[in-house]
Amino acid sequence: MNLLKKFLSYVFMYGLQRTAVKALYKFDNDVSYLILRMMFSVKSQEKTRIVFVGLGNHGFTLLAFFVSVIARHRISLVIDPSPKSQQLATKVLKCQHYIDIESAIADGVFFGDIIYIASDHLSHTPHAIVAADNFRRVYVEKPLFVNSKQMSDFWEIYDSSCDLYTGFNRPYSPLFKEFIHNLSDDFLVTMVINGHFLSAEHWYRVEGQGSRVLGNLTHWIDLAVHIFMIKPGLSIVNIELTKGRLDDLVLILTSGAKKICLSFSANCEPSDGVEEYIFWNCSASIGRILNFRKMHYVTKDGATRKVNRLTKDVGHKAAALAPLYALDQDARIAYISSALAIKVEEMYLDDTTSSHFNLEKLLRKI
């Protein structure tokens, strides 16, 4: 009964098709691969050459799902060292598989129209730099970089001719777009996030991959930067950071009359995936977003609006398909928010409680 309830809750959260893919991904047998093959099979004559670097849980059940199952585009090549990815490539996607980029380059197959980079965090920057010279559109999952050296190196991509897309999906959410439309420039925004519990053995914990700041909180730091940049004139962002038990932390970002508080906790696994709540108060409106399924706000004129959605929409589909449809994305904001995340990461590791971030200086560089 508990499994049935969880399955139904996932259906409401992700939809039936993606829930089925997430469930089947957990099995390693011919039956599950056959069903997945039927779901991912693409008969379209679309000639777009799409390459995946990294085909783990996120890469397959989210990015590949939207590319192949929803948008009906064929994936031509998978690069990933894991045996699981080889099985998925050969039995489900029916495409070429290589264990590393070097081998693919040597065989002359590392080229195409679009590349999705969803490998481990430490490899995002070097993979993206190589990809920028071989693909027209490059999609890089968060974090874009994990240290200051990579942040400097990543700038090469902005000097290349490729179009850059990133895995910062929440700005694509319809509820977030409506929220910022009703925000004035004197606000207090509070975001409360209950993230996944990660064991001490999880690969996120491996040295060099970044802490939960880069692995998770960077999503909401990116949202914060989007909020701050609604109106021009932002210069210095003051940062206050408090660490708690395990991965608990509270981050406060302030610039003049603009304040954003982020509270992240992951001591216990949420029953229905990541939980996230946004509360705001400003001179134009007051309201809340509950887990990107519900929204309620009141404007200064007294108008009230309530939104209730059947499924949670954090913008995954729109972000994943943005390279396919060549949607406009301001990649500068992704770089700025990632640079801010690096600053917070350094504070987190050094036990620094307060600092500042010169946004204006970085904007001049961009």
Structure tokens at 351: 């036990």
Span 113-127, pLDDT tens digits: 999 999 999 999 999
**pLDDT band for position 14 (cuts 50, 70, 90):** confident
Which value, to the nearest 10 degrees, does the dihedral of the CA atoms of residues 133, 136, 137, 138 take?
Answer: -10
Confidence of residue 144 (pLDDT cuts 50, 70, 90): very high
| Of the residues 81, 98, 119, the one at which a domain ends | 119
Is residue 21 in a domain?
Answer: yes
Check residue 365 and give its pLDDT. Answer: 72
Q: Is the pLDDT of residue 1 over 60?
A: no
Sorting pLDDT into bands at 50, 70 and 90, what band is 44? Answer: confident
| Location of structure tokens 């904007």 | 363
Question: Tens digits of per-residue pLDDT, 294-342?
Answer: 999 999 999 999 999 988 899 999 999 999 998 877 888 999 999 999 9
Q: Answer yes or no: is 139 within a domain.
A: no
Show the tokens assigned to 111.
């080229």
Same domain, 199 and 264: yes
Average pLDDT of the chain, as a whole number: 93
Question: What distance in Å separates the CA atoms of residue 27 and residue 173, rounded to the nearest whole number?
Answer: 31
> Is the four-CA dihedral 123, 128, 134, 136 of positive or negative sign?
positive
**Is the same domain home to 190 and 99?**
no
Residue 142 lies in a domain: no
**Is residue 175 located within the same domain as residue 257?**
yes
- Give the CA-trace dihedral at 128, 129, 130, 132, to 10 degrees: 80
- 149 is a domain residue: no
The tens digit of pLDDT for each residue in 227-239 reads: 998 877 677 899 9
In-domain check, residue 283: yes
Per the structure, the complete domain to which residue 87 belongs is given by: 2-119
Buried b (16+ CB within 10 A) or exposed e, 86-110: bbbbeebbebbbbeebeebeeeebb
CB 340 within 8 A of CB 218: no
Provide the pairing of β-strand 294-299 with 304-308: antiparallel
Same domain, 236 and 112: no
Total of domains in the chain: 2
CATH code for position 88: 3.40.50
Mean pLDDT over 119-142 rounds to 97
Residue 307's CB is within 10 A of a number of other CB atoms, namely 14
Element (H, E) at 321: helix 316-325
**Does the residue 156 lie in any domain?**
no
Give percent of the chain above pLDDT 90.
Answer: 79
Q: Do residues 66 and 178 share a domain?
A: no
Mark whether 79 and 217 lie in a shared domain: no
Beta bridge partners of 298: 286, 304
Q: What mean pLDDT is predicted for residues 131-140?
A: 97
> 231-261: buried (b, 16+ CB within 10 Å) or exposed (e) per residue?
eeebeebebebeeeeebebebbbbbeebebb
104 and 38 in a common domain: yes
Residues 104 and 230 grouped into a single domain:
no
Mean pLDDT, range 152-166, rounded to an integer: 94
In a domain, 136, yes or no: no
Does some domain include residue 287? yes
Q: In this structure, are 178 and 115 located in the same domain?
A: no
- The pLDDT-based confidence of 366 (bands split at 50, 70, 90) is low
> CA neighbours within 13 Å on the CB side: how many for 104?
23
Last-in-domain residue among 104, 119, 134: 119
**pLDDT tens by residue, 346-363:** 999 999 999 999 887 787
Last residue of a domain, one of 58, 91, 119: 119
Domain of 229, CATH number, reads 3.30.360.10
